[in-house]
Structure formats: C-alpha cells, structure tokens
Amino acid sequence: MADKKFYLTTPIFYPNAKLHLGHAYTTTVSDILVRYHRLMGEKTYFLTGSDENTQKMVDAARKDGKEPLEFLDGIVARFSSLFSELSISYDQFIRTTDQKAHWPGAQALWQKLVEAGDIYKKEYEGLYCVGHEAFITEKDLVDGKCPDHGTAPEFIKEENYFFRLSKYSDAIRQKIESDELLIVPATRKKEILSFIAQGLEDVSFSRPRKADWPQGLGIPVPGDDSQVMYVWCDALSNYITALGYGQGGELYEEFWPGMHVIGKDILRFHAAIWPGMLLSAGLPLPKTLLVHGFITSGGKKMSKTLGNVIDPEELLAEYGTDAVRCFLARHISPFEDGDITREAFKDAYNADLANGLGNLSARIMQLAATHLEQGTRPEAAEFPAEYIQAMEKFEINKAAEFIWSRIQALDQKITEQAPFKLVKTDLEAGKKIIFDLTQELYVIGCMLNPIMPETSKKIKDAVAANQKPENLFARHD
Ligand code: ME8
C-alpha cells in the first residue's frame, strides 16, 4: 500500500474576486478525497492554485485602482487564508504568473504540440466572452448577451495560433468510452461523449499580446513574443507544470497521471481540450475527472442582486471549520447540484453536530470517565466496508451518511441498554457496554478524519485519555 500514489488537483481559481461557497465546495471535496487516500496509507500529492493571466483579472484590478500584479498578490493572499480556515491540506499552490514554476513547463508543452504539427496560424474572427475566457457563438447569446455572465461579448478579429483538436476527436472518444479516462458520474461521461460525437473543432490557442497588459502577465508563445498563450491552454498545463514537467521534475515522474476535481461548467475544457493536448504531446491522460454540480442558494444561482450569496468566511467565523466541511460533505451530492441556505445550514448543524455527534461523544465519554479505569484506545480501527466503498467511489455524502447512521445506532444502543442504570445493579456488565461504546466511538472518530480532521482528533484523543472531549459543538439558536 505504501507505494500507492494519489495525485489530485482542484481547478485553479480566477483571482478577479473573492472566492464564494461554490469554490469552497470544489476545494473541500478535493481535500476530503486526498485526506481519505492519505488515511489509507497512500502517498498523496495535492495541488491547487490560481489562474492569473486573464483579462477579467486585469479588468478587476483596474476597477479597484490597482496595478494587476499588485492586485493579484492581495487576492491570492485571501485565497490562501480561506483555504487555511477550511483546513485544506494542499502540498502546492501554483500561480500561473510564476515564471519559474509554471512558464517553462507550459512552453515545453506548447513546443511538443508544435513538433506534432498541431499548431498553425490562422486569421480568425469571433465573439469572445471575457466571463468564460472563451469564444462563444451567436446562437449562445440571449438578447445579444452571454446568458451566464449577462455581458455582451467582444467582437474580435485577429491572427491566432490554432490547436488541431479536431485530429484527436476519435482518440479522445475512445479513451473516455473505455474509461481509460474515467469520467464520474456517468451522466457527465454521456454528456461529453455526445458533444464529442459532433466532432471537435480546432481551438484558438493564443492571443496577440495586449498593449495594456504589464510584463509578467501572459505566457509568451515560444518563438513569437507578439502572442501570448490562450488562457485555457496556459491554465490546463498547470496540472503538470506544477510537478516540474519540462524541467526534469521528479514529482512529474512520481505522480502523473492523476485525478482532477472540477465543476460541471468546465467539463469540455477538461474532457476535450486537455486530453487533446496530452495526446498531441504523447503524454498520459488523467486517470479520472470527478465532475461535481453547482451550489445554489434557495434554489437560485447565488447573486448579489438576489442577496442570497453565502460567504464561506462568514459561515466559518460563525460555525467553525469542521461544521462547514461537514455540511458540504454530508448535505451536497458530489455528482449533482446542491442547495444551501443559512436556515438549512443552522438546522443541519444543530441536528448533525450539536445534538448528534457532539452530544453522543459527550454522553459516552462522560460514562467512560466515570466508570472505566483507563483509556480504551483500540489497537487499530477497522474501517467498515460501506465507508471504504463509498469513499473509493467518491461518494462522500454516502460515506458521511454511513457515519451518521452509526451515530444514531449508538444513541439508540445507549437508550436501549441504559448502561448508566446497569452499572448500579451489575457493574461489570455495565462497564462492558460502556467499553464497547467507546470502541465504536473511536471508529467513528477515525472515519471522520477526512471530513472533519479536528473533530476526529478530539474524539480519538478523548477516547485515548478516557476523558470527556471539550465541548464540541454548542447549539445555535
Ligand atoms: O473556472 N458551485 O475558475 P473559477 C459549485 N480558472 N462550484 C462552483 C460554483 C458553484 N456555484 N461556481 C464555481 C475557472 N464553481 C478556471 C479553471 S482549471 C485549469 C481553470 C467551481 O474560479 C467551477 O465549476 O471560475 C470551477 O470548477 C471552480 O469553481 C473554479 O471556478
């Protein structure tokens, strides 16, 4: 087991605004999966980062009265502080403006595409949506605007380098059909296969360098400084540049190929363009794409005008790290859209944590501290098969559901067997039940490790020390 490798990436985030709960979701799901594989004794590597060479970032910086590179540092510092509050255990944070860590690998990959004869120059005109950082077509528009971003696209006529993606349609389709590139859930696999069946078109892979972009922003196309790489070509390559691809990186040899966690909105980039680039370069494709849904609030897309935006920082300040992680893990399916409101969050917190896990741990450990002589740490916790199976299939919500079914079962056991009464009439029998309860609580503590790392530790420590854990979750009214 020790030599089993697990490499997982989050999408790299656009640093044009603060991260919202949707971004926190992607990152938390990723972290839970990595922590699970670490718990299973595998050697893991966890990458996240920011997608910085973009027009939307430049626009946001200027609106804020800042120079883009200075603006970036401020926003990226906030990303890392959010990730630290969420206990995200990443190994590396890659920034696509990093000229040492990212640019050489991105340029080496570009060079491979050139060598394969897959890059060519073409005069191009089209409608560019800055929100998507992609060209869109007339028929995508509603009242002349991009329906996702509510903004009118820019008409662009320019000479670009193109990537011959069309050449790889069949090869990509085969890799996906055979699950060599596994796309989870199956509905997303089906969706992308029907998209590929129409035939993939070549994609514009560079833009002329903008006069108002500072030096240090935008990766120069090798051999043509007047052009910078198209943002998706640049961004996707982060998954291997971060491992030192193109620079003799040992991490690349050790960990690639790995798994990408993404939202449903960026499926095409990851299941068509990215495999196309890798095939062209003769590199292995990712093993898995886990495609999650979108988080809505009260059934609607979070928006400032509707006033339903949920700020992860506020939730974290009010309820704490593990409570936020628990809600995302247990109440949102990693395969479908999910909903959150403040009310639903509070109710779930009180039921799952204050009355559920917190109360159960306190009851059991109070009994143990009163009646057992010493700590009762089991040698090694056996992980139940249901838990393992759910986690291996990325069904984090099912794994959490299983843990909570155990919590309910223990609650019921205490009520039915009433060890607190039994100790008065048959001390040894009462102690045996209390001992068993602590053992089972310990297993719950172990299973909670990927989802709620701090709570997991508190529970395990309490069992080992034969003490009541400090107040875990106070009720919120
Ligand atoms: O797409 N619910 O960056 P991004 C769930 N830079 N997930 C959501 C969400 C929501 N409401 N809103 C966004 C990008 N996300 C690119 C990625 S990767 C080489 C480049 C998810 O900051 C979204 O689906 O717009 C995406 O996976 C991630 O947040 C980053 O979004």
Neighbours of 471 (CB within 10 A): 9
Evaluate: CB of 14 within 6 angstroms of ligand 1: yes
Evaluate: CB of 338 within 6 angstroms of ligand 1: no
Percent of residues, the chain, with pLDDT higher than 70: 98
Evaluate: CB of 232 within 6 angstroms of ligand 1: no
Quote the mean pLDDT of the chain: 95
**How far is residue 28 from each of residues 60, 260, 271, 398, 450, measured CA to CA in Å?**
26, 13, 22, 16, 10
Instruction: Looking at the CA of residue 301, tell me the nearest atom of ligand 1.
Output: 11
Beta bridge partners of 295: 338
User: What is the residue with the minimal CA distance to atom 9 of ligand 1?
Assistant: 22
Is the Cα dihedral 308, 293, 358, 37 positive or negative? negative
DSSP state of 308: -
Average pLDDT over every residue of 198-221: 94
Q: Are 293 and 331 in contact (CB under 8 A)?
A: no
CA 286 to chain centre: 16
Q: Sheet harboring 5-13: ordered strands across?
A: 92-95, 43-50, 5-13, 259-263, 288-292, 182-184
What is the token pair recorded at 314? 């506020």
CA 317 to chain centre: 21
Per residue in 9-36, pLDDT tens?
999 999 998 899 999 999 999 999 999 9
Q: What local confidence, expressed as pLDDT, does residue 190 receive? A: 98
Which structural domains are found in the chain, ordered by start?
Answer: 342-465 (1.10.730.10)
Per residue in 87-98, pLDDT tens?
999 999 999 999
Let me know if 193 is exposed, middle or buried by CB neighbors in 10 A (0-12, 13-18, 19+): middle
What is the band of 220 on the pLDDT scale with cuts at 50, 70, 90? Answer: very high
What is the band of 137 on the pLDDT scale with cuts at 50, 70, 90? Answer: confident
DSSP state of 186: H
Let me know if 100 is exposed, middle or buried by CB neighbors in 10 A (0-12, 13-18, 19+): exposed
97 contacts: CB under 8 Å, gap ≥ 6: 52, 53, 69, 72, 216, 217
User: What is the residue with the minimal CA distance to atom 7 of ligand 1?
Assistant: 22
